[in-house]
Structure 1
Amino acid sequence: MTSKPLILDVDGTFLRTDMLLETFWSAMGCAPIQALKLVVTHFTDRAQLKSKLAELADCRVDLMPVDKNVAELAAQAAAQGHEVILASASDTSLVSALARHHGLSDRIFASDGMKNLKGEAKAEALVAAFGTRGFHYAGNEAVDMAVWKDADDVIMVQDHPAERANLAADGHAVTVLPGGWSWASLLKAMRPHQYVKNVLLLLPIIAAHNFGLSALLPVLLAMVSFSAAASCIYLVNDLLDIDADRMHPTKCRRPFASGALPIKVGMAAMFALAVIALGVAASLNMAFLAVVSVYMILSLAYSLKLKRMRWVDIATLASLYTLRVVAGAAAAEVYVTGYMLVFIFPVFVTLGCVKRLTELTLATSDERLPGRGYGRPDRSDLLNVAGLGMFGALLVFFLYTFTDQARSLYPTQWLLWVAMLPIGGWLFRMVSLGYKGKQDYDPIVFAMRDRHGISLILFTLTLMFYAAGLFQNAFGF
């Protein structure tokens, strides 16, 4: 390289993210209605859209993930006396803050609310400032070809073979740095391990002792729909929580927070998953479609607002789990009793408290959790609410044993009373482990991996099946 300045594109080059999309999701978290209005009003005027979103959003440019290879290249260039300048189509307020934070040149090139500095517009600005081939340029997209052809040395983040060949033929020295994303990162962001929660859809047919294919197959399809819906919402949640995740000791490794997965890829996947979820739901029946729709709307409300509200967040989590049970009944078209729902809800209130207890116990300070309404001093209140949830669930279960339906389905009533012991033991174990910080951040996922807890659940089911006479009918004893 000569003494010519090194110009760095920002989105996808210096940063492993996109500032426009970062500001959109940050604005959605702060003021969703205003953010959507801005998109509709200024969609065709990108410079204005970027400026307005930057004003509305509360973006932390200091947390945005930097491409290590590009950062090293910039450090080497600076050490050799080259001026390192950011040139981006993102808004000037964000690019200036980014340059200051990383100690780069105060001179920047960026969109200013009037002109969108992308492609040819960026090339014109750089040529006007430094002349043709008077600068080196690092970019990552084919649209950067407009700038590359006027630059001297060219740096590509992710290979573009056709552009690279054309530039080399024109006498440019081209350096290719690794970039791009992987399907594994997208799969990780979708959190398929969370699909285990959808076993809750099987509860209604188990409770109704309906094990035929006519009931099982619709429920399996329903689980596909709920899995797609859940992944869609997980993507939304991670995008809304991107700054909070970057400040978290383990969540900072999530694909969006770390920059391993581009936001635009996540948004495309989000749309596709929503279509799959609602399409499969519609193929079953309208009742199930309604439940899935309510689940997605409530989940979206939770991600946007409710998760930041003390106690409301736990009630919402319990409602979302309970909706899975309702969904299973709707898919299989079996009756679900009010007692089951009233029993399930406090169980999930308890598990919601366990989730927060685990997060607070593993927290490194007494400050409120990022994006949540709790701090470590709230652990005792959460423990009390978890205890009330345990008591409420066991009381409802006990009262259910005296109903006509229970007597009809479970002739050996006293075994139901015995089953309350492992149920209570399992709940106590979950609360105790959460309070001690010995759990996963998601109690349901933890429960499905906990051998001792699974033993208690299987023992409970064995007692209930025996009380129902299912073992006697199946095996003759």
Structure 2
Amino acid sequence: MTGSLPTDALSMPASGVEETLARAADIAAGPASMLPIVVDLDETLVLTDTLHEQALFALFHQPLTLLRVLPRLKDGRAAFKAGLAADLPFAAVGLPLRTDLVAWLKQQAALGREIHLCSAANTAIVQAVAARLGIFKSAIGSSDTNLKGQAKADLLTRLFPVGFVYVGDSRADLAVWQVASGVVLAGASQAVAAGARALGKPVEAEFVNTPLSAREILKAIRVHHWLKNLLVFVPILLGHGWDDHPALLRTALGLICVLAVTSATYILNDIADIDADRQHWSKRGRAIASGRLAAAPAFVASIAAILVALGFALALEPRFAGVLAAYLAVTLAYSFGLKRVPLLDTMIIGILFTSRLVMGITLAGQAYSEWLLTFSMFFFFSLATAKRHTEVVRAGTSGSGSIAARGYEVGDAALTLVFGVATAVASLLIMVLYIVEEVLRRGVYTNPKMLWGVPIALAIWVGRIWLLAHRGRMNDDPVSFALRDKASIVLGTAVGILFVLAL
């Protein structure tokens, strides 16, 4: 297969490509060799591991397929890879490329060198990636034999008796570099790079991974969403329990458990959505979708964080651990497919927000307030629907016709508007009844009339949210939007002042 490199492979800034090519030229092994170049696929040409991503895709979207294919492991990794490749869809278009390496390979192809792709990945996957780029003379993958390490070295020695230059990244590639005529390092660790250089072969070029920044990691675990979890403190504040130090400590420790679980589920959701995110104009830049954070270790770390958090929660307060486990189950059900059911997805978001209040009630040791929990369900259902309504309105404006992977269509705008506004008004009515039937009757406020300003301020804010949503101007979910919106901050401050004056 021959052809020119597609523009999506050259998304790296021109200056960065030039610097990489200049560095490659500086460390070249001498005069430009015409030996063929053989390139590995996983974590070399692409920044991710296709087998890991396929297995995780099956786990989240087709678990029965994974269960059916798993027994093939007894026949070897090649048989397992073949089973996954045969039964699962594979999107080569969205795979994140190592753009500086691709640019160098294009340059070498222009000089007349043959470029070949050879990987332990299944043949169908290797050929799909090769077809996307169009610069490879051949594409070889695993079929009956797992082409890794010595097996790949033996094959390439037979195919290229005159010699070849190998592009790889892993310790298993040391066996291939042992028989190769030249070395190209692409994403290799320091230990692997040192081992490759110790072989005494000329190193034609080296392409290094850029470490994940702290900002990227914090963004991946959604630190900017952590404020939502402060809802666990609402019950203890409304119950005037700020002088109950043991309850405050339990709630603070419980918050840590909630943060660990919610961040872990965000990571799991990104893994489940990896293919869809790569087709999205902004989400494709996320750490996992872009290949900057490998899906497999992220999955393992998330599961570990969840297990530790649940264990600590159980020791802290068994009822709290039960609610946290239920929150996790609903979240995973949402990620596994319920988020693609229109309106049910926004109802689940309302349930998840309300469950934070239930956690706070159990940690504070207070009685449940049906009024508060009912208000929360209606209120957060409305806010979640506002976000979907914005997406539906934008889909209509852009002419796309639907929201990818969400199940909504442009014609649903009237439906989301009616449900969202109706539940917003219902939540305000429930708040008024909550003040009349519960707050005022308890007689715990010295100036309870000040509380009547709270539903008024909330009505203004909800009206603003829905106005912006209907105009397609809600750039984020309403809660995150409120943290940056000046009008929302003013109204939130007013609510806080009214609460303090009522005490």
Question: Taking structure 2 as the reference length, what is the TM-score of the superposition?
Answer: 0.87
Corresponding position: 1:394 with 2:423: no
Distance change in 2, residues 1:166/1:90 (3 Å): closer
Match of 2:175 among 136, 139, 146: 146
Please state whether the residue corresponding to 1:401 is helix, strand or coil.
helix
1:418 matched residue in structure 2: 453
1:129 matched residue in structure 2: 159
Distance change in 2, residues 1:161/1:30 (3 Å): closer
Give me the whole-angstrom Cα distance separating, in 2, the residues matched to 1:397 and 1:40. 56
Give me the whole-angstrom Cα distance separating, in 2, the residues matched to 1:241 and 1:166. 37
For residue 83 of structure 1, report the CA deviation from its aligned partner: 1.7
| Conserved? CA contact 1:288–1:327, under 8 Å | yes
For residue 337 of structure 1, report the CA deviation from its aligned partner: 0.4
Corresponding position: 1:294 with 2:323: no
Corresponding position: 1:450 with 2:485: yes
For residue 31 of structure 1, report the CA deviation from its aligned partner: 1.4
| Conserved? CA contact 1:120–1:146, under 8 Å | yes
For residue 425 of structure 1, report the CA deviation from its aligned partner: 1.0
Distance change in 2, residues 1:418/1:44 (3 Å): farther
1:272 matched residue in structure 2: 304
- The one-letter code sitting in structure 1 at the alignment partner of 2:37 is L
Deviations 1:91-143 (A, max 9, x none): 1111111111110335222111x321111111111112113x71111111122
| Conserved? CA contact 1:186–1:266, under 8 Å | no
| Conserved? CA contact 1:24–1:57, under 8 Å | no
1:194 matched residue in structure 2: 225
Give me the whole-angstrom Cα distance separating, in 2, the residues matched to 1:331 and 1:40. 45
Question: Which stretch has the larger CA shift, 292-301 or 371-380?
Answer: 371-380
Question: Which stretch has the larger CA shift, 151-160 or 321-330?
Answer: 151-160
- Structure 1: stretches of 5+ with no match in the other structure: 471-477
Match of 2:400 among 353, 361, 366: 366
| Conserved? CA contact 2:72–2:83, under 8 Å | no
Match of 1:209 among 233, 240, 247: 240
Give me the whole-angstrom Cα distance separating, in 2, the residues matched to 1:161 and 1:222. 40
- Count of residue correspondences: 466
1:254 matched residue in structure 2: 286
| Conserved? CA contact 1:47–1:111, under 8 Å | yes
For residue 204 of structure 1, report the CA deviation from its aligned partner: 0.7
Corresponding position: 1:342 with 2:374: yes
Give me the whole-angstrom Cα distance separating, in 1, the residues matched to 2:352 and 2:72. 34
For residue 165 of structure 1, report the CA deviation from its aligned partner: 4.3
Please state whether the residue corresponding to 1:12 is helix, strand or coil.
helix
- The one-letter code sitting in structure 2 at the alignment partner of 1:351 is L
| Conserved? CA contact 1:359–1:441, under 8 Å | no
Distance change in 2, residues 1:30/1:163 (3 Å): closer
2:467 matched residue in structure 1: 432
- Structure 2: stretches of 5+ with no match in the other structure: 1-31
- The one-letter code sitting in structure 2 at the alignment partner of 1:144 is D
Please state whether the residue corresponding to 1:155 is helix, strand or coil.
strand
Give me the whole-angstrom Cα distance separating, in 2, the residues matched to 1:40 and 1:87. 26
| Conserved? CA contact 1:21–1:264, under 8 Å | yes
- The one-letter code sitting in structure 2 at the alignment partner of 1:398 is V
Give me the whole-angstrom Cα distance separating, in 2, the residues matched to 1:260 and 1:404. 51
- The one-letter code sitting in structure 2 at the alignment partner of 1:55 is A
Distance change in 2, residues 1:419/1:187 (3 Å): closer
For residue 410 of structure 1, report the CA deviation from its aligned partner: 4.2
| Conserved? CA contact 2:85–2:122, under 8 Å | yes
Give me the whole-angstrom Cα distance separating, in 2, the residues matched to 1:162 and 1:423. 58
For residue 455 of structure 1, report the CA deviation from its aligned partner: 2.0
Give me the whole-angstrom Cα distance separating, in 2, the residues matched to 1:119 and 1:154. 15
For residue 247 of structure 1, report the CA deviation from its aligned partner: 1.4
1:91 matched residue in structure 2: 122
Question: Taking structure 1 as the reference length, what is the TM-score of the superposition?
Answer: 0.92
Distance change in 2, residues 1:85/1:298 (3 Å): same
Identity %: 32
Distance change in 2, residues 1:3/1:395 (3 Å): same
Give me the whole-angstrom Cα distance separating, in 1, the residues matched to 2:249 and 2:348. 29
Distance change in 2, residues 1:456/1:58 (3 Å): same
2:22 matched residue in structure 1: none
Deviations 1:245-302 (A, max 9, x none): 1111111110111111112231232123213321331231111111111111111110
For residue 13 of structure 1, report the CA deviation from its aligned partner: 0.7
| Conserved? CA contact 1:181–1:261, under 8 Å | no
Corresponding position: 1:35 with 2:66: yes
Q: How large is the RMSD of aligned CA atoms in angstroms?
A: 2.1
- The one-letter code sitting in structure 2 at the alignment partner of 1:10 is L
- The one-letter code sitting in structure 2 at the alignment partner of 1:369 is I
Distance change in 2, residues 1:94/1:438 (3 Å): same
For residue 68 of structure 1, report the CA deviation from its aligned partner: 0.7
Distance change in 2, residues 1:28/1:56 (3 Å): farther
- The one-letter code sitting in structure 1 at the alignment partner of 2:484 is R
- The one-letter code sitting in structure 2 at the alignment partner of 1:92 is T
- The one-letter code sitting in structure 1 at the alignment partner of 2:361 is A
Distance change in 2, residues 1:239/1:379 (3 Å): same
Please state whether the residue corresponding to 2:436 is helix, strand or coil.
coil
For residue 458 of structure 1, report the CA deviation from its aligned partner: 2.7
Give me the whole-angstrom Cα distance separating, in 2, the residues matched to 1:73 and 1:398. 67
Question: Which stretch has the larger CA shift, 286-295 or 410-419?
Answer: 410-419
- The one-letter code sitting in structure 1 at the alignment partner of 2:51 is L
Please state whether the residue corresponding to 1:7 is helix, strand or coil.
strand
| Conserved? CA contact 2:39–2:167, under 8 Å | yes
Please state whether the residue corresponding to 1:59 is helix, strand or coil.
coil
1:474 matched residue in structure 2: none
- The one-letter code sitting in structure 1 at the alignment partner of 2:332 is L
Question: Which stretch has the larger CA shift, 418-427 or 359-368?
Answer: 359-368
2:50 matched residue in structure 1: 19
2:9 matched residue in structure 1: none
Give me the whole-angstrom Cα distance separating, in 2, the residues matched to 1:436 and 1:406. 38
| Conserved? CA contact 2:118–2:139, under 8 Å | yes
| Conserved? CA contact 1:342–1:396, under 8 Å | yes
